[in-house]
Amino acid sequence: MAPTELEEVRGVIAARLPGAVVGFDGTTPEGALLVQRERLIEVCRLLRDDGALQFKLALFCTAVDWLDREPRFDLVYQLRSLERGTTVRLKVGVPETPGEMPWIPSTTGVWQAMGWLEREVYDLFGIDFRGHPDQRRLMMPVDWEGHPLRKDYISFGEAVKFSDRESFAPDSAVPRGAPD
C-alpha cells in the first residue's frame, strides 16, 4: 500500500479518534500504523465501518517477540478493503507484565475471522486476548506447556551426530513443554 494511502487512513482515524494512532512504522515498504492497545477496538471498528475506509476483511493477525525490547511483543494486524482494494497494517505494542500473561483486547467482535487467528497467537506466543469467545490452543496438543514461538522457548530437537563429527545440536537437550 502506498504511503500516501496510509497517510489518508491515518488522517481519517486522527480526525475521529485523536490520539489513537501513536506513530508510523516505516521499516517495511508497506508501512504500518502504530496503535495504542487501549484504543485498539475503537480503531478497528472505525476502520471496518467507516464509509470511506471499509476494511472489512481481516487478513491475518500475528505477533513479533522482541525479546529485549520494551514492550516485548508487537501484535500485527493486516486488514483489507475489497471495495477500495487497499490493505492496511496495524501494530500494537504489548508489554510483558510479571504475574500475568501479556494481554490485548480481542478483535473477534469486530471481525469474526480473527477468532482462529488470535487462537493461533495465543497458542504460539502466549498472549491473552481478553474477550475472546473460545480461547484455547489451536496447533499444539491441548496439554502442551509453553508457547513455542517465543524467543526464549528453545526449540529442542535431537543432537544429531553424523559419523565422527558433531552436527547441529540445539542448546537444550531437555524437551521443554512435552508432557511425559
| Burial tier of 171 (Cβ tally within 10 Å: 0-12, 13-18, 19+) | exposed
- Give least dist CB 84 to other proteins, A: 22
- The Cβ of residue 85 has, within 10 Å, a number of other Cβ atoms equal to 8
Taking the least distance from each CB to other proteins, the nearer of 34 and 154 is 154
What stretches of 6-102 adopt beta strand conformation (E)?
A: 21-25, 32-35, 57-65, 73-81, 86-94
- Give least dist CB 132 to other proteins, A: 16
Taking the least distance from each CB to other proteins, the nearer of 56 and 176 is 176
Rounded-to-integer distance, Cα 54 and Cα 122, Å: 27
Map grid coordinates 494511502 to a residue.
Answer: 5
- Give least dist CB 20 to other proteins, A: 28
- Give least dist CB 135 to other proteins, A: 15
* Residues contributing to the site for other proteins (CB under 8 A): 28-29, 124, 137-141, 144, 148-149, 151, 153, 155-158, 160, 168, 170, 175-178
Taking the least distance from each CB to other proteins, the nearer of 131 and 148 is 148
